[in-house]
């Protein structure tokens, strides 16, 4: 168990900068998720921690020791790969004990660790099988078992669930969380799926184009995104972003989305925005904060009428899409309240959760 | 159905011409299909049967005739050969030649494949191109070049040796050096084939296995032993067996460089049977000689087939 | 990932904190060093052949100078003598005729058979395919004696048309094997789409499969070409007259005047004879290699 620290870490391939300016402090026992779209540099960063890529700039330390010059095997880490990378000609037990055998652990201890890990992951009956006889989920567990027996300072996961089907993914997600609660090893986990990030992480690191956009707890990122990218990336379906103009409204502020639609900025937010009056900004509001009006007479929010474009029933709720000056906006309403496509409907927006983004800096105000 | 689907009348579709969409018509169609298929194979079958299988059996018959091919003499040719010292020397030399040449070809192939694989990808193609040249030049012609390199009077290799302070070597007239030379040329010619095969096999091993092994703590040698070798062992076996067959039956190198000499010490089956069959005109005796190759080739062929089948299962 | 990164354990721990980057550079330098050694070994004979071919007879005979370089100026005399005073060009012409015919025959036979064996599953197709592969393993040095009788009985002994008859035994089995692999790798849906479009089997073959399997066809053609061009045993055994002889045997045996080996001319001949395969290799290297590896890696 140990802390992982990244100081000004960067990676260059010839002239191309893959990753730059990565600063991250991961305390012992924490489960940190690096999340972002393909090509954002999260896997590269993970592989630098593992020692599979050379570090172009900066320093990485594990357990207080700078590991830049250490090969992977000396960093006391274990990794679970997207494609599991199980040795095809070895049995499950041999796969799991390979690392220990190489390090000359006594046979008895190897057996004990393998049995222990197999019990935690519920793969004891699979120990004598070979990888090609296993299903995807089983292989993933064996890959995790291989990591657990090593009892390393840090677990590294490189998109381990991407190859599994949706249902299995949800199951394995819970497995991983359960294992982390039991074993408590510091974990760095890479994924492009923000739902995985939000459900698994103690803290989330959102990455984009080789840089860190924001670090925070899932709640932080959800409620207080700092950049446009984070605002649009976290949350499913994505936050609505509509070009708007901030106007003065007597002593208060008004945000104008179109000639026909404007909202009053609530007091709780007005102070922050006052300095930007008159500017063209991006208005952000999550679909879950645009709801139907029925039964909310005492609720917060401002009502407004819309003509529905597309209506998507999702079972538990219905997604409604409408246009505001050409930009498509999404809201979530009770299925029974939803009208049909083409009809008008009254919606309520909870402006306490609004965000304003300066398009010039892409920063959330 | 036909009346509702005008003008795509089932009966007018080619291939099903005379068959209404009924069971018997379908059977007719199936039979025609396999007849066509068989017909397409006929030229191949003719060539193989007429020019490979028939001669192979004919050579058995031939080996049991006397020199003038007038009488049937049973196994006399074989017993005759087995009684000659020269023949046993040929057996020994063929074995030494094949085994050592294949061993070195495989070794060099494996080493160079690793070396090339370690280079940055852009450069690999160039190096692979350069290293394959010996295989591209027709063996008879490159052997001619080597013969010149080994020439008793003008050998350019001797020139270097003398420059380094060593003595002249009579490459082709001393028995052991002659044996060395033919093996050397065969290795020179055949190693690139192994390089290409092994390079392709190396590339088929997933990179992530090596990364996982790095993290598990494996050194380069351990990675080679525990990952590369097991993953490649099938193709290593196939290429070695294949090369054993081809090398064992090799003719060009020995014939051109030494013609079996000095004193018949470099003869292999192929050249000895050529000597007996064509040069001396005793076709039956020559046939008998070359038939001795057959058992070994058959055994190797069986193993190759098993290996190829296994690999097919592994991949597919 | 350099698997040779720790070949020499000594290189790994050059003091505490040895840079990984430095180790990898050492490993790369070592790789290049050994590769250059191997390259020298592989390329040294062809190089020497070129050097010799460009020397005058006098220089070839002179023993004092370094034979590895051209000391007295390069000359094309050897080539001139080769083309004008020997039967070399006849050998070349014969080889071209034989090779072209053999490649044509091989391709027709192989493609037909491969299409049938690879895609049209019929009773016995598996056995036949395996049988074909096995016949490839029967070496020419086993067959050349009985074939001598057969070729003689057909009256084609000492004629290069005899070569056209027997060379396919060298090329057809392996080319069929290669083509079967390529044809099998074409998705089944193409057949079905073609059947629906109304194609018969021959049309499917010519209009769809041959174009799609073109890389395999080129690879097989190159293989057939190379084998035919380089064949040595059969012409040596079956051809006697210079006007029927092919390049490989002709260069090696017939260019010797009296007892004198004119090495300059011999090397020139060897080079020109080796040129066509080398040229094809230079331009179509990938197809060349694909043909080779197809056999083993396609299983």
pLDDT tens by residue, A309-351:
999 998 888 999 998 888 899 999 888 888 888 888 888 888 8
Strands annotated E in A107-210: 154-158, 186-191, 203-208
Question: A191-221 burial by CB neighbour count: b if 16+ within 10 A, else e?
Answer: bbbbebbbebbebbbbbbebbbbbbbebebb
- Hey, what are A309's tokens? 């474009």
Displacement of CA A246 from its chain's centroid (Å): 31
Cβ–Cβ gap C21/A52 under 8 Å: no
DSSP state letter for A227: B
Question: For residue B69, is it within any domain?
Answer: no
Same structural domain, B31 and B180: no
Q: Decide: B105 and C257 in contact? Cβ < 8 Å.
A: no
- Hey, what are B210's tokens? 């090596």
What is the rounded (10 degree) CA torsion for B282, B284, B285, B286?
A: 80
Same structural domain, B92 and B219: yes
Same structural domain, B185 and B223: yes
Contacting A residues, span 58-77, partner chain C, CB-CB under 8 Å: 69-71
Say which of B210, B238, B256 has its CB closest to residue C252: B256
Omega before B7 cis (within 30°)?
yes
Residues of chain C with CATH 1.10.3720.10: 86-297
Domain count, chain B: 2
Question: For residue B68, is it within any domain?
Answer: no
With contacts defined as CB-CB under 8 Å, which chain A residues touch C21?
54
With contacts defined as CB-CB under 8 Å, which chain C residues touch A72?
none
Report which secondary-structure segment, H or E, holds A218: helix A218-223
Q: What CATH number is associated with residue B115?
A: 1.10.3720.10
Question: For residue B46, is it within any domain?
Answer: yes
Cβ–Cβ gap C17/A54 under 8 Å: no
Q: Decide: A60 and B181 in contact? Cβ < 8 Å.
A: no
Q: Does B270 lie at the interface with C, CB-CB under 8 angstroms?
A: yes
Distance CA B120, CA B125 (A): 10
- Strand-pair partners of A280: A245
Same structural domain, B126 and B178: yes
The vertex-A259 CA angle with A254 and A265, nearest 5°, equals 15
Distance CA B234, CA C82 (A): 48
Q: Which of A216, A210, A261, A246 is nearest to A234 (CA)?
A: A216
Task: List helix spans (H) across chain B.
Answer: 23-48, 54-63, 76-83, 85-118, 121-131, 133-136, 139-149, 156-163, 175-203, 207-216, 220-223, 229-248, 252-257, 269-274, 283-291, 293-315
Fold of A4-226: Rossmann fold (3.40.50)
Cβ–Cβ gap C109/B43 under 8 Å: yes
Q: Which of C220, C244, C222, C247 is nearest to C232 (CA)?
A: C247
Domain A240-364 has what CATH class? mainly beta
Query: CATH second-level architecture of C86-297?
Result: Orthogonal Bundle (1.10)
DSSP state letter for A258: S
Exposed, middle or buried, A16 (CB in 10 Å: 0-12/13-18/19+)?
exposed
Cβ–Cβ gap A99/B209 under 8 Å: no
Please enumerate, as own/partner, the contacts of C51-59 that have beta carbons within 8 Å and a separation of 24 or more: C52/B148, C52/C263, C52/C264, C52/C267, C53/C78, C53/C79, C53/C264, C53/C267, C53/C268, C53/C270, C53/C271, C54/C78, C55/C264, C56/C264, C57/C262, C57/C264
With contacts defined as CB-CB under 8 Å, which chain B residues touch A89?
230-231
Distance CA A31, CA A173 (A): 13
Same structural domain, B59 and B155: no
Q: Does B245 lie at the interface with C, CB-CB under 8 angstroms?
A: yes
Closest residue on chain C to A52 (Cα): C1
Domain, as residue range, for B55: 2-63
Q: Does B53 lie at the interface with C, CB-CB under 8 angstroms?
A: yes
Same structural domain, B57 and B81: no
Omega before C299 cis (within 30°)?
no
Domain-wise residue ranges, chain A = 4-226, 240-364
- Hey, what are B275's tokens? 């000597």
- Hey, what are B285's tokens? 């005796």
Same structural domain, B197 and B310: yes
Residues of B with CB under 8 A from a CB of A: 206, 208-209, 211-218, 222, 226-227, 230-231
Which of B138, B294, B301 to probe the C interface (max C CBs under 10 A)?
A: B138
Closest residue on chain B to C139 (Cα): B249
Distance CA B273, CA C233 (A): 12
What is the rounded (10 degree) CA torsion for A349, A351, A353, A357?
A: 110
Same structural domain, B126 and B167: yes
pLDDT tens by residue, C192-216:
777 777 777 777 777 777 777 888 8
Digits of tens for pLDDT over chain A (365 positions)? 589 999 999 999 888 899 999 999 999 999 999 999 998 999 999 999 998 888 999 999 998 889 988 888 888 899 999 888 888 888 999 999 988 888 888 999 999 999 999 998 989 999 999 888 999 889 999 999 999 998 899 999 999 998 888 888 998 999 899 999 988 999 999 999 989 999 999 999 999 999 999 999 999 999 999 999 999 999 888 899 999 888 887 778 888 888 888 888 888 888 888 888 888 888 999 998 888 886 655 566 788 888 889 999 988 889 999 988 888 999 998 888 888 888 888 888 888 888 888 888 888 88
Same structural domain, B17 and B119: no
Which of B77, B137, B268, B292 to probe the C interface (max C CBs under 10 A)?
A: B137
């Amino acid at each position: 168990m140990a802390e992982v620290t990244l100081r000004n870490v960067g990676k260059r391939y010839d002239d191309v900068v893959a990753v730059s300016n990565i600063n991250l402090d991961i305390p012992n026992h924490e489960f940190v998720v690096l999340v972002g779209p393909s090509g954002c540099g999260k896997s590269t960063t993970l592989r630098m921690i593992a020692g599979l890529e050379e570090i172009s700039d900066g320093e990485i330390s594990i357990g207080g020791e700078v590991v830049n010059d250490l090969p992977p095997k000396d960093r006391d880490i274990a990794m679970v790969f997207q494609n599991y990378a199980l040795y095809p000609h070895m049995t499950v037990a041999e796969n799991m004990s390979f690392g220990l055998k190489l390090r000359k652990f006594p046979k008895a201890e190897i057996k004990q660790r393998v049995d222990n890990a197999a019990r935690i992951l519920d793969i004891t009956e699979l120990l004598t099988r070979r990888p090609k006889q296993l299903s995807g989920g089983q292989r993933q567990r064996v890959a995790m078992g291989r990591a657990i027996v090593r009892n390393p300072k840090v677990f590294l996961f490189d998109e381990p669930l991407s190859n599994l089907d949706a249902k299995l993914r949800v199951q394995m997600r819970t497995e991983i969380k359960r294992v982390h609660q039991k074993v408590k090893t510091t974990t760095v986990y890479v994924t492009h799926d923000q739902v995985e990030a939000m459900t698994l992480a103690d803290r989330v690191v959102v990455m984009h184009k080789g840089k860190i956009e924001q670090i925070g707890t899932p709640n932080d990122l959800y409620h207080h995104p700092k950049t446009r990218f984070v605002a649009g990336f976290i949350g499913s379906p994505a936050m609505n972003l509509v070009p708007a103009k901030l106007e003065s409204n007597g002593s208060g502020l008004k945000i104008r989305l179109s000639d026909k639609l404007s909202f009053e900025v609530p007091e709780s937010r007005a102070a922050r925005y006052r300095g930007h009056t008159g500017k063209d900004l991006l208005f952000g509001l999550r679909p879950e904060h645009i709801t139907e009006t029925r039964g909310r007479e005492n609720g917060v929010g401002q009502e407004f009428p819309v003509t529905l474009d597309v209506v998507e029933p999702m079972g538990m709720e219905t997604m409604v899409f409408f246009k505001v000056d050409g930009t498509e906006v999404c809201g979530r309403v009770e299925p029974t309240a939803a009208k049909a496509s083409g009809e008008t409907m009254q919606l309520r927006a909870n402006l306490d959760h609004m965000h304003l983004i300066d398009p010039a800096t892409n920063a959330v105000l | 159905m036909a009346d509702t689907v005008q003008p795509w009348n089932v009966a007018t579709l080619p291939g099903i011409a005379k068959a209404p969409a009924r069971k018997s018509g379908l059977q007719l169609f199936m039979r025609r299909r396999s007849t066509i298929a068989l017909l397409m194979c006929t030229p191949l079958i003719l060539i193989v049967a007429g020019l490979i299988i028939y001669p192979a059996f004919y050579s058995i018959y031939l080996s049991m005739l006397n020199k003038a091919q007038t009488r049937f003499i049973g196994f006399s040719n074989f017993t005759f050969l087995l009684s000659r010292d020269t023949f046993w020397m040929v057996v020994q030399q063929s074995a030494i030649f094949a085994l050592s040449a294949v061993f070195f070809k495989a070794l060099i192939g494996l080493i160079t494949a690793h070396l090339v694989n370690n280079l940055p990808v852009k450069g690999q193609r160039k190096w692979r191109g350069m290293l394959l040249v010996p295989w591209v030049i027709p063996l008879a012609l490159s052997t001619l070049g080597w013969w010149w390199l080994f020439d008793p009077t003008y050998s350019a290799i001797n020139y270097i040796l003398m420059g380094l302070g060593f003595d002249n070597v009579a490459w082709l007239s001393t028995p052991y050096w002659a044996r060395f030379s033919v093996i050397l040329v065969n290795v020179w010619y055949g190693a690139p084939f192994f390089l290409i095969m092994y390079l392709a096999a190396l590339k088929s091993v997933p990179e992530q296995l090596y990364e996982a092994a790095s993290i598990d703590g494996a050194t380069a040698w351990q990675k080679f032993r525990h990952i590369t070798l097991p993953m490649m062992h099938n193709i290593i076996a196939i290429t070695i067996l294949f090369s054993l067959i081809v090398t064992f039956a090799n003719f060009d190198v020995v014939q051109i460089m030494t013609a079996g000499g000095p004193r018949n010490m470099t003869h292999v089956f192929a050249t000895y049977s050529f000597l007996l069959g064509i040069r001396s005109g005793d076709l039956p005796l020559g046939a008998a000689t070359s038939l001795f190759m057959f058992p070994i080739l058959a055994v190797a062929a069986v193993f190759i087939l098993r290996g190829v089948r296994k690999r097919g299962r592994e991949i597919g | 990932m350099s698997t040779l990164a720790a070949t020499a354990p000594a290189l790994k721990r050059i003091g505490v904190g040895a840079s990984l980057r430095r180790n990898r550079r050492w490993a790369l330098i070592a790789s290049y060093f050994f590769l250059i050694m191997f390259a020298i070994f592989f390329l040294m004979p062809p190089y020497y052949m070129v050097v010799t071919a460009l020397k005058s007879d006098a220089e070839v005979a002179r023993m004092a100078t370094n034979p590895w370089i051209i000391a007295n100026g390069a000359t094309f005399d050897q080539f001139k003598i080769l083309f004008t005073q020997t039967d070399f060009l006849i050998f070349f012409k014969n080889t071209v005729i034989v090779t072209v015919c053999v490649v044509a025959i091989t391709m027709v036979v192989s493609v037909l058979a491969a299409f049938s064996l690879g895609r049209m599953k019929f009773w016995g197709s598996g056995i036949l395919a395996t049988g074909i592969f096995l016949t490839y393993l029967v070496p020419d040095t086993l067959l050349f004696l009985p074939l001598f009788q057969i070729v003689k009985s057909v009256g084609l002994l000492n004629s290069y048309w005899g070569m056209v008859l027997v060379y396919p035994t060298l090329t057809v089995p392996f080319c069929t094997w290669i083509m079967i692999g390529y044809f099998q790798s074409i998705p089944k849906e193409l057949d079905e789409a073609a059947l629906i479009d109304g194609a018969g089997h021959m049309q499917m073959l010519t209009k769809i499969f041959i174009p799609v399997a073109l890389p395999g066809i080129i690879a097989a053609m190159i293989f057939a070409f190379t084998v035919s061009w380089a064949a040595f045993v059969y012409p040596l055994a079956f051809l006697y007259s210079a006007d029927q002889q092919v390049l490989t045997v002709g260069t090696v045996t017939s260019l010797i005047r009296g007892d004198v080996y004119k090495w300059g001319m011999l090397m020139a001949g060897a080079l020109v004879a080796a040129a066509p395969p080398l040229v094809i290799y230079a331009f179509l290297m990938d197809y060349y290699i694909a043909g080779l590896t197809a056999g083993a890696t396609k299983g």
